[in-house]
Every structure is written in structure tokens, then in C-alpha cells.
Structure 1
């Protein structure tokens, strides 16, 4: 091996060794540096420790606190029991709607101290609450509960002129008798059902109740398509669906002799 090859090999080994040393030093330096993790600030917020029905007074045993990221707290939260619960002997706040266990207590979900909470507070702008007289037969056997959506059918007339027509579709039920808790799914036989309607629809319902009998049909929650429905008369239900005889064919006579059957035209 000549001197040039030896020198080249020595230089190569030197470069490789230096690179390895520098790489090891860099890794050790990076490992030695502490990893700085920014701790997220948390605050305590008040949530429901149990289900709170609509209209129920807010009491201390119904509440608890959890930690919540401070940068994602929604508006209207309560973090202090003193700002939510009344002073000794004072009138309580009430739930303006049903609050589920673990749900944040927000200002919009509770009333002011001593404020009366009624079904009216569940209505939207320019909406009305109106009661309909019902029975077990006309209210789906008692399976209509607050929060359901129904169609309203009017049955009116006498004899063969009796007819049924769907006068309203996709109407929200907000009360059954004196109960308005949407979390309840217990069937009961009601005498009145209160529905959420527009002012125009309330006039239609008032007339319809005087004109005939109103029945409710429960809707699927996923069924949102409505369309005009033609009324059905009793005569439509009782119509003769038997085949219509062919009047162009001459009448025939069927003659049976024991097991033999013959058909002949009656001229």
C-alpha cells in the first residue's frame, strides 16, 4: 500500500470519528434540555349532580363542581355556590328546562330568585300554547308525552258524509294534562294535550274542536317531510272493491250435474 492510500484512510477515519463525536454531543445536549409543557389553567364550574326536572327548585344537594379549562368556559357558567343558591330563607332559583346529570348549570337554564317558571317559557317567539281535548283513543292510547311531535286529524260529519282530514302536521307537544317534563316517558291517559302552535294555527284548532273530534298521530322523530293530504270520506272506505262485471259480455248460466259443471250463454 502506497503512502497516499494510507493518508487517505487516516483522514477518512478522522472525519468519521469527529462526526460521531459531534452527533453524540448534540444528542446529549438535546436530552439534557428540560421539556417545557405549558400547564392549562383550570377553574371549578358547577354542574348538576342528578337530573333536575323542569320547574324544580335548585338546591345544594343537586349540585357539584368539576374542573373545566379556563379558555373554553361557555358564557353564563356558575363557579360560586353563593351566586346560584339563595341566602338563608330566600326564594330559590328554578330550572327553566330539564337539566341532565353532569350538565353545566348556565344562567339561561335557571330562573331568577323566586321567579315563577311556567310552560310559557318553553315557547319560541310568536308561538302559542293551546290545549286540545283528548281521550285514550284520540291520544294514541296515552303514549303521547311532552316533547313528542304529532299530526292532528279532524273527524267531522254524519253518516256516509263522515270524513277525516289531517289539519296540522309536525306539531310539538309541550304538555300532557299538568305535566310538561320532556324527560318523562311514562304513558298515561290524558284528558288534555297542550301543543305549540302559531297564532293562526290556534284559531284553526279552536274551530276544529267545535266542528268535530280531534285525534293525534305520533310521528317518527326523523320524519320531517310534510305534504298535503287528501281527506278521506266514509264512502271511500266502504266502497265496493269487488271486480266490476263486463257488461259487454252476455250473461251466462252455470249448470252443475254431479261433478260436471257446464256454462252456457243465456240468450
Structure 2
């Protein structure tokens, strides 16, 4: 083979190898590796309910536990380990004024540190707890539970003369029997300490404890001796409405008839009494005293 052909063949082989190198290596785009750094958000220790805590229950250390909580989601009313490191022990014996669900942060505003009974701890300031006998038939079939709001009706008379009137409106139920709340030991039921998943009812005659003002308490006690009391359940949308005046008037008024005083409920005045109350009284002005006409001295004989 001629030297010129050998040189040409060598040049062709080198050119082909260089082209293959450029295609396989030199023509590929550079690979970019992006590293993402994960920064964990700062957390704090918040005291939460470990088990359901019913209204009126006293806290124990095994009911609560510390849990990590993002600092960005902290609220000032939460109990934190930095502000109260001995919170489980410090809050032992405090009474829950409202229910706590598992995992819910403990707030001191929902607790009261009281050595008194459960009921006095959950009563609002200035209110009174008054108990009355009720039956399922007289209280929405037994479906009334604590924290419901009810109206109280008084039924008097019998037979055709039986009548009912509203004496209290939109009052809060504190307890039914020994039941103070929906959860925990105070929830009653067959499984104390567990959340209830079915509607709660009572089937036997029991005692309902209502949260009332002093004036309402007096009205209810007086009415309990006059007839049968019934509870009518209100809708939950009415709970936050202000307590309205009783439709038929719940105050006792004094009626004086024929010189005798009688106490009656406003709005329950009978027809003959109403006629007397509404009958206008006409007053005849007293006759003016008669006076002697003036005497003319000239007409008097001398």
C-alpha cells in the first residue's frame, strides 16, 4: 500500500474517533445538582389533654401531657413549659369549667382552682344553681343534656281547666342527675372516661339543675309548689341570644280585691280579676262649698 493512502487512512480514523468523542462526551449538557436545605421550625412544649376531660372533673397529672407545638401557632393563653414548667403538678385539683378533648391545649381560662364542689365551680359569676324534678316525658323525651338551653313551663289545674304558661326562657342546664358534662367521669354512662358517640338520654325521673339569676331562682321555686314543671328544648342557634322577658310575665304581682290582698303570677289573672283590674274607676268631684251672697248694707233695715 502506498504511503499516501496509509496516511489518509490514519487521518480518517483519528477524525472519526474525535467525532465520536465529541458526540458522546463533549456534546452533553452539564448536569446541575440542586441541594435543598430543610430548616425545621422552632417548637415549644404545650400542655394538652391526654384523655377526655369532662366539665366539673378535677385534673390529675395523668390526664395531661407535654406536646411539641410550632412556635408560630402558639397562643398566649396556652400553658407552656417555659412559662409553667411544673404545670401538671400545679394544676392538679383544678376543676374544668368546660370540656377538653384529647390533644386540645389546656387553657387556664377554662379551669377554676376551687376547693368547693363541682357545681359551684362551673356556675357563672352571680348565678344560682336550682334543681327541679323532671321526667323524660316533661323534658324533650329525656334528650336534654348539660349545657343545653331550655324554657320552663308551669302547668296548673286539671281536666278542662288545665293551663300552661311560660315562666322562664332560655336558661342553661347545668346538670341532669349526676351528669355534668358529655365526657369523662361526669358524663355518666356505662363507660366513664370515654367520649360518647350516641345521643344521651335519661329514662327515669331525675333532677335537672338550671343556672338562674336570683330573681329567676325565686320564680322557679315559687312555681314548683303551684303545679307541674316541664322543660322545652331550644335550638342551639338560640343559645347566645340574650335572655328575654317571660312571655306571660314571671313576676308575682299583688292584687287587692274587696280589701283582701292576693299574690298572683303576672299573666295568669283570671277573667273576673282582669275585669276588676281593667275596669276604670270614675271619681265624682266633691261638691263645692256653698257661700253666702254679699249683703248690701243699704238693703238692711235700720
Q: Same fold (TM over 0.5)?
A: yes
Q: Does 1:52 align with 2:66?
A: no
Give the aligned CA root-mean-square deviation in angstroms: 3.4
1:140 CA drift (Å) = 2.5
Could you tell me which residue of structure 2 aligns to residue 163 of structure 1?
163
Q: Does 1:106 align with 2:127?
A: no
List aligned pairs for 1:6-155, cutoff 5 A: 40-70=41-71, 72-80=73-81, 83-86=86-89, 92-112=93-113, 115-155=115-155
1:62 CA drift (Å) = 2.7
Contact persistence 1:47–1:66 (CA under 8 A)? yes
Contact persistence 2:49–2:65 (CA under 8 A)? yes
Contact persistence 1:56–1:94 (CA under 8 A)? yes
1:162 CA drift (Å) = 2.0
Distance 1:92 1:228, change over 3 A: closer
Q: Does 1:211 align with 2:226?
A: yes
Q: Deviations over 1:183-222 (max 9, x none)?
A: 4452113421001111111111011101111011111212
* Mapped partners of 1:177, 1:207: distance in 2: 22
Could you tell me which residue of structure 1 aligns to residue 279 of structure 2?
none
1:120 CA drift (Å) = 2.0
- The alignment partner of 1:133 has SS state of strand
1:75 CA drift (Å) = 3.1
* Mapped partners of 1:97, 1:137: distance in 2: 28
Contact persistence 1:86–1:93 (CA under 8 A)? no
List aligned pairs for 1:227-266, cutoff 5 A: 229=247
- Structure 2 residue ranges without an equivalent (≥5): 1-31, 188-198, 249-266, 269-302
Q: Number of residue pairs matched?
A: 199
* Mapped partners of 1:155, 1:76: distance in 2: 47
1:121 CA drift (Å) = 2.2
* Mapped partners of 2:238, 2:171: distance in 1: 12
Contact persistence 2:156–2:227 (CA under 8 A)? yes
- The alignment partner of 2:136 has SS state of coil
Could you tell me which residue of structure 1 aligns to residue 297 of structure 2?
none
Whichever of the two has the greater Rg, that structure is 2
Contact persistence 1:84–1:93 (CA under 8 A)? no
**Which of 187, 198, 202 is residue 213 of structure 2 equivalent to?**
198
Q: Deviations over 1:47-95 (max 9, x none)?
A: 11221122334334333333223355333433348522339xx964443
- The alignment partner of 2:216 has SS state of helix
- Structure 1 residue ranges without an equivalent (≥5): 1-30, 233-267
Could you tell me which residue of structure 2 aligns to residue 187 of structure 1?
201
* Mapped partners of 2:231, 2:217: distance in 1: 16
TM superposition score normalised by structure 2: 0.55
Distance 1:67 1:86, change over 3 A: closer
